[in-house]
A and B are shown apart, each in its own frame.
Chain A
Amino acid sequence: MTTLSTRNLVIDIPERAAGTALDLTIAPGQIWGVLGPNGAGKTTLLHTLAGLRAPRLGNVLLDGEALRGQRRKRVARALAVVFQERQDGFPATVLETVLIGRHPYLAPWDMETADDVTIARRALARMELDGLESRLVSTLSGGERQRVAIATALAQTPDLWLADEPTNHLDLRHQVAVMDLLRHEADAGCGIFLCLHDINLAARWCDHLLLLYPDGEACWGPTDRMLVPEALERLYRQPLARAEVDGAQVFVPAGAGTPQPARPEPHGRHRS
């Protein structure tokens, strides 16, 4: 059980006013979602919480102790980060990639043990990647790579998850599978902190939300209190329509938004 909290935290984004200082507590069992438009600083916040970036002001605390100055290896046993961007400069297999999640638990001379391999294989199975373990990561699809990254974090057996757009590139079924997995991790006592683009995923799976505005202003609280259409419309500068499906709130863009010049639709679009 590990708690990540911030005290008067101002993330360091060049040429931006300080905005709201953040006093958050990500307690075991909670799933926090960060919503905000492009460039609002979601990723910077996530990296700051992970101790990978210095804040402009304030502190990040891991179990009440300042994160900076703690041994990275110790931090890595408690806290896993799923990055939005990954470097696969050199070829590596899926199993090798997931096994690096065991790095914080191994001494310099240690080789991975059978237990480590078991943990990695179990992580692969939970991401439905078993059978791909000897494939090179570079030969996988974007969604499969995303699942490899999540499996790597799973193999790290963390108490805290910081995940930047964990549902990127995933098809609907795997989006749900990943969010369910995170819910499961939270129920098992993990604290979860996610950057998300999809309000509806956030509404359905997060119990706390942080709205991050481009000017550095922020507000946070339990999900049901944060899902106010006016606040979300101001956040995304986009009119929204709200509906209720099976008792849950669903938000969709309303109206035409900004009118675009008409353009012929090409046949057979590339998937992004």
Chain B
Amino acid sequence: MSAADGGVSPTAAPSAGIGVGRLIPPLLVLLVIALASVLIAVAIGSVHIPPAELWAVFTGDGSPLHRTLVLELRAPRALAAFAVGGLLAVAGALMQVLLRNPLADPYVLGLSGGAAVGALASMLLGMGAAVVSGSAFIGALLSTVLVFGLAHGTGSWTPTRLLLTGVVVAAGWGAVITFMLAVGPTEQLPGMLYWLMGDLTYARTPWVAFAVLLGTCLLVLPLGRSLNVLARGPLQAAALGVPVRALEWSIYIGASLITAVAVTTAGSIGFVGLVVPHMLRLVLGNDQRLILPAAALAGGALLALADTLARTMIAPEQLPVGVITALLGVPTFLYLLYRSR
């Protein structure tokens, strides 16, 4: 009867199979890409390190220069980039399901604005890197609480209300940021601008972000099917046995926290959280059990590669990595969207 109904050729979905077996191949491909991206990030730079020498360094040999370069400079930075990219992409995927809005991204709730105000304020006060990170984290959480409190208002929050509150609060932070840039001393401006566009130069310890990424993946994976149900609306989800309120709260808090960790590590890097989940949905369908780990791998790979370009394109100068993620992501995303139905 389908033929009689439309006469249009049935549009097959990207993934028709069912079961764990369906999840493995795309994740394996992404895992290989992710590993390759980290290796490339470690190998490429002002001093090129050939694969054989890289292998020697990893097995405990290699020249002292290469050892320092790889183990103390490039590897931590590559891993930090990977972790931040993964966190942003996972946070984006979660926010899009939570708000049931494809335009949601990790920063939609004013989080990056709050973090930026915290970071820039402490830069203006001449604080060190640790204080800047700390105040970015506090700013991010403050903004989250503010948006959620305001959106909650006197009644219950709806996705639209949360989204609108977030957008307006973000605009408010934007004004504060512009004000600080306008009054800030000239010699501080480059540092502030780099922070605003994302910068991994000071990300010396990737382990916090990396541990958070791993922990997040382990925590959200069992929620994948519940999130699939939640994507059909809260009533349908509740009718199918999902504890909707509890799940929404945990996603909201979880996604905010991991975004705060990402922003604290690398400044506000745009685009990854919005576009990576969408690219993956266009190719892999919308099963969160696949999209969430895929987002961690693909977001990580994208940012590791983008950061490699950011520090090599105009070496010895560095570009803000946010510029590269946008320059890489925009055409890829538009191409995929154009090709999709």
Contact = CB atoms under 8 A, between A and B. Distances in A.
Interface stretch (B40-48, B137-145, B232-240): B232-240
Interface stretch (A83-91, A194-202, A252-260): A83-91
B18 A99 contact: yes
**B: interface residue count bin:** 35 or more
Nearest to B232: A87
Contacts of A103: 225-226, 229, 240-242
B226 A128 contact: no
Which DSSP category, helix, strand, loop or mixed, fits chain B's interface? loop
Interface string B107-121: 000000000000000
Interface string A101-136: 101101011111110110000000000100111111
A108 B287 CA distance: 14
Interface stretch (A70-78, A182-190, A264-272): A70-78
Nearest to A94: B13
A23 to B, nearest CB: 24
Contacts, number: 125
Interface of A: 47, 50, 52, 71-77, 79-81, 83, 86-93, 95-97, 99-101, 103-104, 106, 108-114, 116-117, 128, 131-136, 139, 141, 144, 156
A81 B239 CA distance: 6
3 A-B pairs with the lowest CB-CB distances in the bound complex, closest first: A76-B241, A73-B241, A108-B222
A135 B235 contact: no
B240 A92 contact: no
Given A103-B226, A112-B18, A156 B240 contact: yes
A141 B1 CA distance: 13
Contacts of A74: 241
Given A75-B241, A108-B222, 9 more contacts: A88-B232, A90-B97, A90-B286, A92-B286, A96-B13, A103-B242, A108-B223, A111-B18, A144-B5
Nearest to A47: B235
Contacts of A139: 8, 11, 341
Nearest to B233: A87
A57 to B, nearest CB: 21
A89 B225 contact: no
A76 B241 CA distance: 5
A72 B241 contact: yes
Nearest to B159: A89
B239 A106 contact: no
Interface in B3-38: 5-6, 8, 10-13, 16, 18-20
Contacts of B232: 86-89, 97, 100
Contacts of A47: 235
B295 to A, nearest CB: 14
A88 B233 CA distance: 8
B318 interface: no
B100 A89 contact: yes
24 contacts: A47-B235, A52-B239, A72-B241, A72-B242, A75-B241, A81-B239, A83-B239, A87-B236, A89-B100, A90-B231, A90-B286, A91-B13, A91-B281, A92-B286, A95-B18, A96-B287, A97-B232, A100-B240, A108-B226, A109-B221, A132-B2, A136-B13, A139-B8, A141-B5
